[in-house]
Amino acid sequence: MSVRTKERRERIVALAKQDGFVSVVELARLFQVSEVTIRSDLDVLESQELLTRTHGGAFCSEQRRPGRKSGIPGRAERVANGALALIDDYDAIMIEGGDAGLSLASHLQERRGLMIYSDSIEITIQLGKSTHTTALLGGVIVDGRSIGWPDANQFLPAGVRARSLFLSGLSQDELGRDVVVRRDTLRRRMMDVCDQVVLMVESADLAAWVKRDQQGDFERITRIITDDAIDSATITRLAGTGIPMTICGMASRRHVENMPSRRWRIGFANQDERLPFAAAVRSGMVSATAQAGVDLLLADNRSDGDVALANVASFIKAQVDLAVVFNTDARANNRIVEALRQVNVPVIAIDIPIPGATFFGFDNYRAGLMTGRVLGQYVRRQWHGVVDVVFSLGLPISGPVPAARMQGQIDGVREQISLPDNRIVHLDSRNTSVDSCAATRQALKKIRRSDRVVIIGINDEAVLGALSAFSEDGTLARCVTAGLGGDVDALRELRRPGSRMIGAVASFPERYGERVVELVSDILQRRVAPPARYTNHCYVLSDETMRLLDLTSLRGSVISASEYSAQRRTAQ
C-alpha cells in the first residue's frame, strides 16, 4: 500500500469520527480520486472494523464517553444521545416531556450554562439538581407532564425564546381529547418561539407519525432523530420532505441530510474584516458552509454602504442562491434588498436589520439590558449607587433597531440606580475604537476630573476605545464599563489585572456560521422560517467581578473570562 493511500484512509477515518458520516461523492471530490477508489478504501476500512459501510458512504463508531451506563442503551437513550450533539454550551432550549426528553435531560451535565424550559415535572425536578437554569411550563399535571390550562399562552411568558425545541413525539391517544388539544396548543406555542424543532422519535413510531402529522406540523420539523431500527421505506419517504435525519445506533450516528442534489451557492458580505468580531463571524461561516457542503463566496464591506452595494452586485452576477449581508451602514440597506429582490435572491441580515430580510444576530434590547444590569449592580455596590456621567457610544448610522441595544443598557442601569437623562452624554462611536477614543477624549474636556463615569457602547470596540481615552487622561480609576460581543480584544482586557472593564455580554460570533447555515437550509428548502433568529447571550465577567457581584441577581448564565477564553481556544 502506497504512502498516499495510507494517508488518505487515515484522513477518511478522522473525518468519519469528526462528522459521524462520510459520503463517497464528497470524499472523491476532496481527495481528487474516483468514486471507485473511495469505495475500495471504505471496504478496506470496514474490514478493519474502523468504518461501517452504508449506501452512499460510511459511518464510524464513536468512543463511549466515560460515566455512561453500561450495557446496550435503550432506543430512547440512543435518540437522546443524538440530540445532545445539537446542544451547545449556554444554549436556550425547550424539552418536551417523554422518555427521550427525560433521557436527554439526564445527559445535560455534559453542557454548561443552559437555559432550559420544559413542560415536564419530572424533567424539571431532575434538572433542578444541575447547574443549569430551568423553568417549568404549563399548568395541569397529566402523566408526569404539565399541560397548558386553560390557555397555553399564559404559561409561556412574553419574550421567551429558545434555539431548539426537542419534541418527544409520543403517542397522545391515551391522554384524552381535551388534554391532547391543550398539550398541542402548548406545543405549537413552543414551536413559535424556537429557531429549530427537533423530533426525537423511536423508529417503531416514526412511520405512523409521518403519516399522521405530515398535513399538520410536519413542515415545522427541522431535524428528525431516531434509532437504527428504522426501515428503508420510511427513510425513502422522508427523503422527499427535505428534513435532515440522524439515525442513532448503540455507539454510532448516521446523518441523512436529504439535501438537494445541486450544491447551494451563497454569498457572505462581511461587516469589516479589520474588526475582531467580524473576523470571528467569517471564520465560523467558512467552517459551517464547508461542513454543510455549501459553496461560499466571500466579500468585505469595510463598514461602507457603497462597498456593500458593489459586493451584492458581484453576488448577483455570480448567481448566488442566497445572500448573507453584515452591513452597518443602514442608508444602503433598502437598495441592497431591492437589488436582490429583483433577481429573487433571499437575504439574511447579520446583526443590523435590513427591511425584507430574515434577521440573525444580537437580541439587541436583551443584550443591552444584561450589560446595563451588571454595570448598575457594580455602581450600587462599589460607588454606593452614585454615578455623575454616562458616556453612551452609539452608532446612529446603523438605524433604530441596534439603538435598542443602547436603550437596553440605560434601562438595565436604571433597574439598579437613579439615572436622570441629563447625566447621559451621547457620542458617536463610528464603530471603531479609534473614533470612540477621539469622541471620548473631547467629552472628557467638558466634565469635572472628579466625576465618576459609566461607559456604555454599541460593541466591544466602542468601550475599549473609550477606555483608551481615560488612560490617556490618567483617570482610569474613575470609570467603569462592560462590553457587548465578547471578542478576543475584550477577553484580553477582561483578563488584565485591575481593568476597568468588569465584564461583557458574549454573543458567540464564532458560532454565527452554524446558526446561519441552519437558516439558509430552512429558507432554500421552503421550510417555515421566522423573520428573526437570535444568537445566545451570556455574561463573561472578570475574575474580580465574579467575587464582587451577586451573580444570582443577574438573570442569565455567567462564566469567567479566563474559562471562556480557554473554551474558545479549545474549540479553534
Residue owning grid cell 436527554: 104
Between CA 419 and CA 128 the distance in angstroms is 37
CA distances from 392 to 402, 501, 504 (A): 13, 15, 16
DSSP SS3 for 406: helix
Report the Cα 70 to chain-centroid distance in Å: 33
Q: Considering Cα of 543, then 549, then 552, then 556, what sign does the dihedral take?
A: negative
CB of 407 closer than 8 Å to CB of 443: no
Between CA 196 and CA 243 the distance in angstroms is 12
Determine what percent of the chain is predicted with pLDDT higher than 70.
85
Between CA 81 and CA 200 the distance in angstroms is 10
CB of 358 closer than 8 Å to CB of 380: no
DSSP collapsed to 3 states, 499-514 = CCEEEEEECCHHHHHH
pLDDT for position 138: 66
Between CA 223 and CA 253 the distance in angstroms is 14
Question: CB burial class (10 A; 0-12, 13-18, 19+) of residue 409?
Answer: buried
pLDDT digits (tens, 9 = 90+) for 30-54: 888 888 898 888 888 888 878 877 6
pLDDT for position 175: 42
Between CA 394 and CA 527 the distance in angstroms is 36
pTM for this model (two decimals): 0.70
Between CA 423 and CA 105 the distance in angstroms is 47
CA atoms within 13 A on the CB side of 516: 37
**Number of CB atoms found within 10 A of residue 178's CB:** 10
| Structure-block grid coordinates of residue 410 | 440605560
DSSP collapsed to 3 states, 488-500 = HHHHHHHCCCCCC
Question: Among residues 362, 370, 445, 345, which one has the least CA distance to residue 403?
Answer: 362
CB of 37 closer than 8 Å to CB of 25: no
Question: CB burial class (10 A; 0-12, 13-18, 19+) of residue 474?
Answer: exposed
- Cβ contacts of 478 within 8 Å, gap of 6 or more: 449, 450, 451, 452, 453, 470
Name the strand (E) or helix (H) holding 277. Answer: helix 276-292
CA distances from 361 to 236, 268, 533 (A): 36, 14, 7
Between CA 508 and CA 37 the distance in angstroms is 40
- Show pLDDT as tens, one digit a residue, over the chain (572 residues): 677 888 899 888 888 776 666 778 778 888 888 888 988 888 888 888 788 776 567 776 443 333 333 333 467 788 888 999 899 888 899 998 888 888 999 989 888 889 899 988 888 888 887 888 888 886 544 444 444 444 445 566 677 888 899 998 644 444 444 445 556 777 888 888 888 899 998 887 787 766 665 444 566 788 899 988 887 777 777 776 778 888 887 767 787 766 655 789 999 999 999 999 999 999 999 999 998 889 999 999 999 999 999 999 999 999 999 999 999 998 999 999 999 999 999 999 999 999 899 999 999 999 999 999 999 999 999 999 999 999 999 999 988 888 999 999 999 999 999 999 999 999 999 999 999 999 999 999 999 999 999 999 999 999 999 999 999 999 999 999 999 999 999 999 999 999 999 999 999 999 999 999 989 988 887 776 778 899 989 999 999 999 999 888 887 888 899 888 887 665 55
| Structure-block grid coordinates of residue 523 | 429558507
Question: Among residues 569, 560, 430, which one has the least CA distance to residue 488?
Answer: 569
Q: Which domains does the chain have, with CATH numbers?
A: 3-59 (1.10.10.10), 75-256 (3.40.50.1360), 265-361 (3.40.50.2300), 364-506+542-571 (3.40.50.2300)
pLDDT for position 69: 37
For 164: left if phi > 0, alpha if psi spans -120 to 50, otherwise beta; the answer is: beta
**Mean pLDDT computed over every residue of the chain:** 85
CB of 328 closer than 8 Å to CB of 395: yes
| Structure-block grid coordinates of residue 244 | 435532515
Angle between helices 3-19 and 24-31 in degrees, nearest 10: 130
